[in-house]
Amino acid sequence: MKNSLNKLFSLFLAAAMVFAVSACNDDDSPAPDAPSVTASTSNPGNVTVDASVTLNFDVTAPGGFASSSVSAQGGTATVTTDMEADATSGTIAVSFTATAVGAGSVELTVTDANGSTDDATAVLTIEAIATTPVITVRGNIEEDTRWTADNIYVLDTRVTVLEDVTLTIDPGTVIKGNTGQQAASTALLVARGATLMAEGTAALPIIFTSINDPIDPSDIAAGNYASTTNSSQTGLWGGVIVLGSAPISTQNDNDEDIAEAQIEGIPSSDPNGLYGGDNPDDNSGVLSYISIRHGGTNIGAGNEINGLTLGGVGAGTTISNIEVVANADDGIEFFGGNVSVDGAVIWNSFDDSMDTDMDWVGTVSNFIIISPNTGSAFELDGPEGSLVRGQNHVFTEGVIYGGADIDAIVDWDDNTNATLTNLYFFGITAGRIDSFGGNGAEASSNWETDLADNAGGFFDGVTDGVITYGVAVADRSYGPSAADFAWTWAGNSGKLAELGL
């Protein structure tokens, strides 16, 4: 009997072992990797007390995203954009509001569907609210005026520098546009016959931005040129408009040539919005080392203000080293005239980065275009009237990063007389070349791209021999480097370095 019980026990034990082995064999696939969380390198490093910033965290979750949680030091934090359930990768956005001066941090923890977690911390420096005096400016500037870097100037209306008046802006000065839409849009308008002497430096650029931007002249003096606001936030105020007496080519509603016109973005009821004339060498002053941020308010249906508008501006005007970031309309738009621009960065324009109209004659050189949103890198239009001066406008020594939201890479009108030469195109995942060359027949040349070939059709229509494929960013022959624009938001924030420039 004892032997029988022993045999029965052995049989039960063997069966249990077989079941255990079988169960193991049924679940022998490895568990997915734990999630991975990193704080984005584009996150702002500084914030002012009581100000809010958005921090992005990049997440991979091979096991499928389940949940996130956030904690903060020096302020409060809330997840504003979460990942979808079971997603394996994505970006989580966290809004942080600073409450105490000193060190701040935001820790995001992600849990996957298997219960595995990972976390990452974004570190910030929380600064005291600036005590710089604020001067509110309204209406017309009727006598010679100087704005200095020991104040912040708030444009509370459309502020116009009148004819025969000079506005001087010192290096390192911050000008902020108050909120306002349509007829109440804020902007700085330099009327025809007026002069703007806005001469910043590489160490002390002049900043035009929104009232919502906490940047202070002390930040500029300390070499902190990047705003803590979102570099995609547009339309918070108007922009800078400079008008002159150089020739334009346009017509009225009766198809008759006219020598002057009303600039877009300014109501027709304001005579200070007129531009154009017969002086190609007209001088509207000097604009150098200027950054224009968050502009482009809409004054009516489809009528937004550009970051920098140049209407009939003459060749006697000096414009160099201009940055436009997050404008709801074009970055820089030329309406006729003869002015040139040496040095420009256009980042996140929500229409065209560079737009030309009305037989503009001039050159833009040493420039970088980054990620146009819904618009084109170049919108090139020719004469609109019978005036055709037989000269072309030129874009040279430029770098163009296309991004995913671009419309056209270059869009020529059917009578455009423009030359594009010595250009490097990269980051091209969307867009096209539209009507290569226009029919102005000016010869474009010396294009390079990192694309191996034209398999995507992005450069269809480009004349043979114009473009060289397979050129890496580091090996490009043309365009400026990030070091040339260290004074910009794009340079100071690391955006240009992130692109490999």
Give the tens place of pLDDT for each residue, 106-133.
999 999 999 999 999 999 999 877 679 9
pLDDT at 25 over 60: no
In tens, the pLDDT along 219-262 reads: 999 999 999 999 999 999 999 999 999 999 999 999 999 999 99
Average pLDDT over residues 476-495: 97
Least confident of 3-17, 81-95, 153-167, 456-470: 3-17
Alpha helices in 112-202 (DSSP H): none
How far is it, in rounded angstroms, from Cα 427 to Cα 396? 19
Query: 416: which DSSP letter?
Result: -
The pTM of this model reads 0.76
pLDDT for 5 beyond 90: no
Query: What pLDDT score does 11 carry?
Result: 46
Residue 19 sits at φ, ψ, to 5 deg, of -65, -40
Is 176 in a helix, a strand, or coil? strand
> Cα 366 to the chain's mean position, in Å?
17
Q: What span, in angstroms and rounded, lies between the C-alpha atoms of 240 and 307?
A: 6
- Strand 393-403 and strand 418-428: pairing? parallel
Q: What pLDDT shows up at residue 81?
A: 92
Task: Quote the pLDDT of residue 307.
Answer: 97
Specify the pLDDT at position 115: 94
| CA-closest candidate to residue 287, choices 157, 134, 175 | 175
The number of C-alpha atoms within 13 Å of 420 and in the hemisphere containing its C-beta is: 28
pLDDT interval class at 46 (50, 70, 90): confident
Of 293, 353, 359, give the one whose Cα is nearest residue 329: 353
What SS3 string covers 292-311? Answer: EECCCCECCCCCECCCEEEE
- What is the model's pLDDT at position 33? 93
Domain range 134-498, CATH class: mainly beta
Answer whether residue 320 shows pLDDT above 70.
yes
Q: Which residue do the tokens 């006729």 mark?
A: 336
Q: What is the mean pLDDT of residues 90-99?
A: 94
**If residue 24 lies in a helix (H) or strand (E), which one and from where to where?**
helix 2-26
Give the residue-averaged pLDDT of 459-476: 96
Res 30: pLDDT? 82
Contacts of 167 (CB under 8 A, 6+ apart): 141, 144, 145, 146, 147, 161, 190, 194, 195, 196, 197, 198
Do 70 and 108 contact (CB within 8 A), yes or no?
Answer: yes
Residue 41: pLDDT over 90? no
Structure tokens at 419: 């030359």
Span 90-97, average pLDDT: 94
CA 282 to chain centre: 30
Average pLDDT over residues 28-49: 87
Tell me if 406 sits within 8 A of 430, measured CB to CB. yes
Residues 60-74, mean pLDDT to the nearest whole number: 96
Q: Which of 15-24, 222-231, 319-328, 468-477 has the lowest mean pLDDT?
A: 15-24
> What is the four-CA torsion angle of 41, 42, 46, 47, rounded to 10 degrees?
-130
Q: How far apart are the first and last CA of the chain?
A: 88
What's the length of the chain?
A: 501
* Residue among 237, 257, 255 at smallest CA distance from 247: 257
Is the predicted pLDDT of residue 2 greater than 80, yes or no?
Answer: no
**pLDDT score, position 301:** 55
- According to DSSP, the β-strands at 341-347 and 318-325 are parallel
Residue keyed to tokens 């996130």: 68
Is the per-residue pLDDT at 13 higher than 60? Answer: no
Residue with tokens 């991979």: 60
Residues of the chain with CATH 2.60.40.10: 36-127
pLDDT in tens, 334-351: 999 999 999 999 999 999
Instruction: Summarize the confidence of residues 273-301 as an average pLDDT.
Output: 93
Assess whether pLDDT exceeds 90 at residue 145.
yes
Mean pLDDT of 54-64: 94
List where CATH 2.160.20 sits in the chain.
Answer: 134-498
Mean pLDDT of all residues belonging to the chain:
91
pLDDT for the residue numbered 3:
47
- The pLDDT of residue 22 is 45
Spell out where 173-312 has E strands: 174-177, 187-190, 195-199, 206-210, 240-243, 250-251, 257-258, 261-262, 274-275, 285-293, 308-311
Q: For position 1, what pLDDT does the model report? A: 45
**How far apart, in whole angstroms, are the C-alpha atoms of residue 447 and residue 420?**
8
Please report which confidence band the pLDDT of residue 412 belongs to, taking 50, 70 and 90 as the band edges.
very high
pLDDT above 60 (res 16): no
Q: What is the C-alpha separation between 28 and 5, in angstroms, rounded?
A: 35
How far is the CA of 166 from the CAs of 104, 149, 175, 301, 363, in angstroms? Answer: 44, 17, 17, 33, 26
Instruction: Strand 36-39: give its sheet, edge to edge.
Output: 36-39, 52-60, 89-98, 75-81
CATH ID of 36-127, from 3.40.630.30, 1.10.3720.10, 2.60.40.10, 3.40.50.10490: 2.60.40.10
Say yes or no to pLDDT of 45 above 60. Answer: yes
Determine phi and psi for 240, rounding to 5 degrees. Answer: -110, 125
